Amino acid sequence: MESVCYQTYDLREAMRADWPGEKAANVLRVDGGMTASDWTMQRLADLLDAPVDRPVIQETTALGAAYLAGLQAGVVGRGDRQLGDPPVEAVEVDAERPCRP
């Protein structure tokens, strides 16, 4: 899992190199099964030196698929925000307790 953190760090650095004049984002939003790992999310926050927001509902891809199915079935209208924005919890950078490999 740590390799994914380093890959994310490398990707962010590559994006910054491609757009040097752009203001850097100060938060990373994540989803998926790996967000269940507190250690991985803390390691990612430490490497990026930025908070990481993870949704309370980890599988937001499935949530999006359900929303699209509801649109198709007519259960949810296009303008409806019944699902709203999934609530998130922040993994803050903890300078006192950095996550070390």
What are the structural domain ranges in the chain? 2-91
For residues 6 and 21, the model is more confident at: 6
Predicted local confidence at residue 70, as pLDDT: 85
Confidence of residue 79 (pLDDT cuts 50, 70, 90): low
Chain centroid offset of residue 84 CA? 17
DSSP the chain: -HHHHHHHHHHHHHHHHHSTTSPPPS-EE--SGGGG-HHHHHHHHHHHTS-EEEESSS-HHHHHHHHHHHHHHTSS-TT--SS-SPPEEEE---TTS----
Looking at the DSSP assignment, which residues form a beta bridge with residue 14? none
63 and 83 in contact (C-beta within 8 Å)?
Answer: yes
pTM, two decimals, is 0.66
| Residue 47: CB atoms within 10 Å | 19
Distance, in Å, from the CA atom of 26 to the CA atom of 70, rounded to the nearest integer, reads: 34
Predicted local confidence at residue 61, as pLDDT: 82
Q: Give the mean pLDDT of the chain.
A: 80
What's the rounded mean pLDDT across residues 38-52?
92
- For residue 101, the one-letter residue type is P
Predicted local confidence at residue 86, as pLDDT: 57
Predicted local confidence at residue 31, as pLDDT: 85
Predicted local confidence at residue 56, as pLDDT: 81
